[in-house]
Amino acid sequence: MTTTADSLKPLLWQSKNLVRAVEAAGVTLWSWNVDSDALAMDDHAYDLWGIPRGTEVCFEDLSAHIHPADRDRVRAAFNATRAIIGAYEIDFRIIIGEELKWISARGQGDDEGMVERIMFGIFIDVTGRKQAEEGRELLAGEMSHRVKNLLTIAAGLTAITSRSTTTTNDMARELTQRLTALGRAHDLVRPVPGEKAASVLLGDLLTVLLAPYDDLGAFSGRIRVSVPRMRVGEAATTIMALIVHELATNSLKYGALSVDTGTLDVSCSAQDEAVTIMWTESGGPKVQPPTTAPGYGSRLIERSVAGHLRGSIHYDWVEEGLVVTLKVKPERLAA
């Protein structure tokens, strides 16, 4: 026996099947008496609003659940629906216990659509869609902010490198190294669930930044990183990348990493008032304090530490190897 569309129509319009269709779509039903302000809702609408089924409600009862920032807007919109010709839709937030939901209220406006002074409409839970939209907006804003910051940093590094090198080859090499260090750091910065800002674990950041120096033949295994589990924010990540790159490059040229026997230890301790990062070189050539003025790289580090991180950096030129003590505010490290 062949089933035709016409033969299905009676089945479609059976009230119980219409109810099934409404439930499958996640739609809840309401009606509003414009004179008495009384609302009638189906059971699923009561559940959506966190109100016991069968309770007599009016618009003000529902308003108690609407997010305070949306309450006046929703009240004004509902009052204006009688003047709207055609369909209307408004999205707003409601608070059920500690849970936040997004609701879309939809209906047909203008008084001609009323039946015995009653207007009709639906509520739909659109929380998932709104969360996805907010996620996309957050990502777009984050990417725009990050690109602007990177362009500004790249321009500054270009100017600094041009003043600290004498040949175009040297400039290209040093600038590429600095930008590569920044790129490795930013690859690690990802949004963390439950946190507004992007961040990376300090240990992961240091390991990735120092990996190129640890993988150069005899250097393998000579760099040790031991830090507690703590997060570094996006802005601080950029500064930490510059600091580590400058220190590692100098060590490779003149310090512990310039010889086969040299080692580097990076450790950290965290107190309430400060995070202290220790950079300790040993086993390399005997070192002495520099006799010339600090280079642009060193001045860049000092300005960045004092400025953004609200901290300090101290160099101890002991004979066994350079020891660098970096102290920063915990809240600035996380920013």
Global pTM? 0.49
Specify whether the CB–CB gap between 326 and 319 falls below 8 A: no
Long-range Cβ contact pairs of 158-164 (< 8 A, separation 24 or more): 160/296, 160/297, 160/300, 161/296, 163/296, 164/295, 164/296, 164/297
Lookup: tokens for 266: 């990076």
Mean pLDDT to the nearest integer, 315-324: 90
Q: Which residue has the tokens 């409409």?
A: 121
Whole-Å CA distances, 154 to 113, 157, 185, 319: 61, 5, 14, 36
Measuring CA to CA, which residue among 220, 318, 335, 236 is closest to residue 277?
236
What does the pLDDT look like over 1-14, one tens digit per residue? Answer: 455 556 556 666 66
Out of 56-65, 160-169, 282-291, least confident range: 160-169
Transcribe 201-252 into DSSP letters: EHHHHHHHHHHHHHSSGGGTT-EEEE--S-EEEHHHHHHHHHHHHHHHHHHH
Which pLDDT belongs to residue 200?
84
The DSSP symbol for 107 reads: E
Give the Cα separation of 196 and 178 in Å (integer). 28
**106 contacts 121 by C-beta, under 8 angstroms:** yes
Predicted local distance difference test score (pLDDT) of residue 198: 64
Please tell me the distance from the alpha carbon of residue 323 to that of residue 311, in angstroms, as a whole number.
17
Domains located in the chain, CATH noted: 14-125 (3.30.450.20), 131-333 (3.30.565.10)
Instruction: Dump pLDDT digits (tens) for 262-271.
Output: 899 999 998 7
**Whether pLDDT at 219 is above 50:** no
pLDDT one-digit tens code per residue, 103-119 = 998 887 666 666 777 88
Compute the distance between CA of residue 165 and CA of residue 89 in angstroms, rounded to an integer: 63
Position with higher pLDDT, 331 vs 192? 331
Which pLDDT score is estimated for 218? 42
Phi, psi of 124 (to 5 degrees): -130, 135
pLDDT one-digit tens code per residue, 260-310: 788 999 999 987 788 999 999 999 888 888 887 777 667 778 888 888 788
Query: Tell me: the pLDDT tens digits for 172-204?
Result: 887 887 777 767 666 665 555 555 556 788 998
Query: Does position 220 have pLDDT exceeding 70, yes or no?
Result: no
Q: Which residues pair with 315 in a beta bridge?
A: 324
Other CB atoms within 10 Å distance of the CB of residue 157: 19
Tokens for 175, please give them: 């600038």
